[in-house]
Amino acid sequence: MRAKICPKGPPPRRVQEPSLATTQSGRNVMTQLAEFSISGAVLTPGQDGYDDARRLWNAVHDRRPAVIAQVQSAEDVAAAVRYGVENGLEIAVRGGAHSMSGASAGDDGLMIDLSGLNTVTVDAEARRVRVGGGALLGDIDAATQPHGLAVPAGVVSHTGVGGLTLGGGMGWLTRKYGLSIDNLESVQIVTADGSILRAAEDENPDLFWGVRGGGGNFGVVTEFEFRLQEAGPMIHYGLLFFSADQGTEVLKLARDLNPTLSPDVNIIIAALSAPPEPFVPAELHFATGYGLVVVGLGSAEEHAAVLQQIRDELTPAFELVTPMPFTALQQSLDEPNAWGHYSYEKGSYLTELTDEAIAVVTEHVPLKKSPMSVTLFYRLDKAYSAVDDDATAFGGGRDDRYAVFIVGQSPVPELYEGEQQWVRTFWEALQLGGPDTGSYVNGLTEADEDRLRATFGPKYERLQQLKAKYDPDNVFHRNANIRPA
């Protein structure tokens, strides 16, 4: 049985008449674009649609590319890459535009906009799905959930598939099915010389190893092929919220509980402000505290038993427990992570929630000023740890651990600098003097070489060699950049 979703995009058309903007090299865009033709639109400053196309999820970044290529095929991407290289334009690749660092666009360069490559084709019998490089997680869910199938991915449905996957991809299904890259069968990728390649275990296996965790360093992925896993269409959901003064007890409880859980239950620990929702007592609206978000993929009885274990130890200030569609779970964090906020993030791995780490967390969580800022702890074990560390380029060991995300987020620019400083101070305090275990690549707002070496460890030199083979001139450098050997 096959299902195909082809979201509508702009009709194919030739390059529009450009404005008189100039590029980094100082050459007139009109002259440069004379020979550049793709099936999608080509936009320059001042044209209709340009400002919408250049807009990024993180409002901190206001970039103005000289040229935006709204590609409709791998051949369009190849033409755009060749055009950018030949004309000395810095190339940025825009998928979901969720890059915290604003890597999806640059000033005066070329933006390759993949949003038109959002087709999702499901083969339910073979449990495979082909996903365009510009698709969003919600596009995959919409196509796969009618079959009770899913791709293990992230937790915000308007995130782009490409950036998330190339860095690893973790979320609600990680404990049961591993990372997104652990479920990847193949990619179609356009490399720096404009070649269109297939990478899989049986074809260009070195490149396939590199794209599974090495980020966007090796080219522009125009299609992903994933294995599908059973999940949904309904799951069991529980949010138990505890006051700030219960933080130490909550974190210790989660630390003790997590290793006992089956892969059918996942708990994300969240230090957050209570939302102004009807299920939250009015006096707790925007109050800072700690949430345990308990998701059950198996039986209702198993999920209920875990919730009761928590209640037996600590009484929550409020809770929300309900069955819900898997698609609703995937969209549950969409509004808090909506477009247009001013955001900054730093992340770390913790091998364990030690008493020392818990003390740091409980000291710094109350210091945030914006109710939108949050700290998240993802438990990584079970299927995550079952994959050999050298099997992929993923930046993080495969032993049991927590991925920590400290996110400063504000609705107005006036709060941004303070939240940024809160994140940095918190992150510094969480580096507790042990061996540096690096950071999750998708949580790196600032990716200097020392941080990348700590993240990739012994894999870093291998990635440099791979970069030298497929992108020797570092054409694709707006990312967690690995410089060619």
437 has pLDDT over 80: no
Q: What is the pLDDT of residues 321-351, one digit of tens each?
A: 999 999 999 999 999 999 999 999 999 999 9
Share of the chain above pLDDT 70, in %: 93
pLDDT at residue number 32 = 65
Q: How many Cα atoms sit within 13 Å of 52 on the Cβ side?
A: 5
Written as six digits, the tokens of 429 are 């305090």
Give 271-299 pLDDT, tens digit per residue.
Answer: 999 999 999 999 999 999 999 999 999 99
| pLDDT tens profile 191-239 | 999 999 999 999 999 999 999 999 999 999 999 999 999 999 999 999 9
Give the residue among 237, 254, 227 at the shortest CA–CA distance from 172.
237
**Would you give the DSSP letter of residue 329?**
H
Nearest 5°: the CA angle 371, 376, 381 is 170
Confidence of residue 4 (pLDDT cuts 50, 70, 90): very low
Mean pLDDT of 301-326: 98
Residue of 402, 28, 469 whose CA lies nearest to 219: 469
Strand partners, 42: 69
What's the pLDDT at 3? 42
Q: What is the pTM of this model?
A: 0.92
CB 150 within 8 A of CB 173: yes
- How high is the pLDDT of residue 31? 60
Instruction: Spell out a b/e string for 256-276, using b for 16 or more CB atoms within 10 Å of the CB, else e.
Output: ebbeebebbbbbbbbbbbbbe
Task: In whole angstroms, give the CA distance from residue 87 to residue 485.
Answer: 24
**Mean confidence (pLDDT) of the chain:** 93
Q: In the chain, what are the domains? A: 2-113 (3.30.43.10), 234-443 (3.40.462.20)
Q: Is residue 8 scored above 50 in pLDDT?
A: no
Using pLDDT thresholds of 50, 70 and 90, give the confidence band for residue 245.
very high
Q: Which residue has the higher pLDDT, 45 or 7?
A: 45
For 172, the enclosing helix (H) or strand (E) is none
| pLDDT for 41 beyond 80 | yes
Helices 247-257 and 300-313 pack at an angle, to 10 degrees, of 140
Nearest to 99 by CA among 140, 58, 54: 58
Q: How confident is the model at residue 34 (pLDDT cuts 50, 70, 90)?
A: low
pLDDT in tens, 344-380: 999 999 999 999 999 999 999 999 999 999 999 999 9
- pLDDT per residue as tens digits for the range 425-434: 999 999 987 7
Angle (nearest 5°) at CA 420 between 254 and 343: 80
